[in-house]
Amino acid sequence: MHPESDKQNSSQSPSRRSVLSGIGVAAAAAAVPSVSRAAANTTFGTQGFWNKEYVAKKGDVKLQLYRRRMAEPKAGDKAMPTLVMVHGSSIGALSSWDLTVPGAGEYNMMNVFARFGYDVWAIDFEGYGKSDVTSGNSDIKSGVADLVAAVPLIAKETGMQKLHFMGESSGALRVAAFAAAHPELVDRALLGAYTYTGKDSPTLTERAKNVEFYRTHNRRPRPKEMIESIFTRDKPGTSDNRVAAAMAASELRFGDTVPTGTYLDMTAKLPIIEAKLVKCPVLLARGQYDGIATEADILDFYSQLPNPDRQLSILPGLAHSLTLGLNRQLYWHVANGFLSMPKGQMA
């Protein structure tokens, strides 16, 4: 594993392993699209922060990592709390966590949490963004393997041996699965827009109509209209229309297809991980109108978490995306409060 570039912007119920081994790969491989040269050369960086890109390797697969903090790290500096942001099924790292929406205010989560004092990282999973596109379907099991490949690099660069993780939607499933498999590496886990069993989920009931496609294809279409639907499918009016336009413009640089693996997992294989296996402190956060899970499903998961350091927050006026809705600052507040919470004494 090695930095991709030295260019820096200084102005700016079975066991966990047996559960994961049962997560399958879609039956038939789709044609593997290539990432355009323009997309591969997409500039990462925001003025006023220190930014850097890295590459981790999972075997022969290149995984792209992005890092942001307020200032360049220097020898002798105290290590900062480190937050790894984990994207979902349809959108890669940059469009999820590093989005600029002209004229609409701050939507860039890497900026927000760098200002809060974190060393912020994001990862493009296999088949997304600037990471290698392969014949695989990038399911939850694959995402755990991607994090296993990335974490040693992050730990080396930051000096932190335990990291915070923030995931949304299937990204939260990746985080929960990783935390269960590698509790020694996870400090605190934020699970946003989570789903546990999927029972009675309107979104997953509709999505399951295409489950045979997900079984037999490793990639699915992801056109502009699908991206825009993320913001309207649960409750129109909970987001700014400019956000959908900005996300579509950002993400379609990387093509109009994405892997099917997490869709297959969420429509045919839930629960991916039993709550009792996630032993780190957990914040479960969901929007008031989120259709990916019912409140009963989330409460079921929450009630089984073994660590008493756990929180559940239902945020008013938000739908599926906590980070890109009009009330996104509510999530910033609860997430930072959870991450910065003093350690309590255990009786």
Tell me the pLDDT tens digit for each residue of 120-166: 999 999 999 999 999 999 999 999 999 999 999 999 999 999 999 99
Spatial distance between the Cα atoms of 72 and 91, rounded to a whole number of angstroms: 28
Domain assignment of residue 202, given as a range: 16-339
Kindly state whether residue 163 falls inside one of the protein's structural domains: yes
Residue 320 is assigned to a structural domain of this protein: yes
Token pair for residue 320? 């599926």
pLDDT at 45 over 80: no
Confidence band for 217, pLDDT divided at 50, 70 and 90: very high
Query: Which phi and psi angles does 243 have, rounded to 5°?
Result: -70, -45
Asked whether residue 30 carries a pLDDT value surpassing 60, the answer given is no
- Mean pLDDT, all residues of the chain: 90
Query: What pLDDT score was predicted for residue 43?
Result: 65
Tokens representing 212 are 């045979």
Number of folded domains that form the chain: 1
Residue with the larger pLDDT of the pair 6 and 60? 60
Residue 25 CA, distance from chain mean position = 20
Both tokens assigned to 224: 């502009």
In this predicted model, what pLDDT tens digit does every residue of 241-265 receive, in sequence order? Answer: 999 999 999 999 999 999 999 999 9
Which of 267, 277, 279 has its CA nearest to residue 215? 267
What pLDDT is recorded for position 347?
67
Does residue 4 belong to any structural domain of this protein?
no
- CATH number of the domain within which 188 lies: 3.40.50.1820
In a domain, 2, yes or no: no
Would you place residue 46 in the very low, low, confident or very high pLDDT band (cuts 50, 70, 90)? confident
pLDDT at 95 over 70: yes
Checking if the pLDDT of 1 tops 50, the result is no
The answer, yes or no, to whether residue 27 has pLDDT greater than 70, is no
> For residue 11, is it within any domain?
no
Backbone angles phi, psi at 260, to 5 degrees: -100, -10
Q: What is the DSSP string of 205-236?
A: HHHGGGHHHHHH-SEEE--HHHHHHTTTSS-T
Residue 346 in domain: no
Residue 9 lies in a domain: no
Mean pLDDT confidence for 223-252 = 97
Rounded mean pLDDT, 21-42? 43
* Residue 292 CA neighbour count, 13 Å, CB half: 29
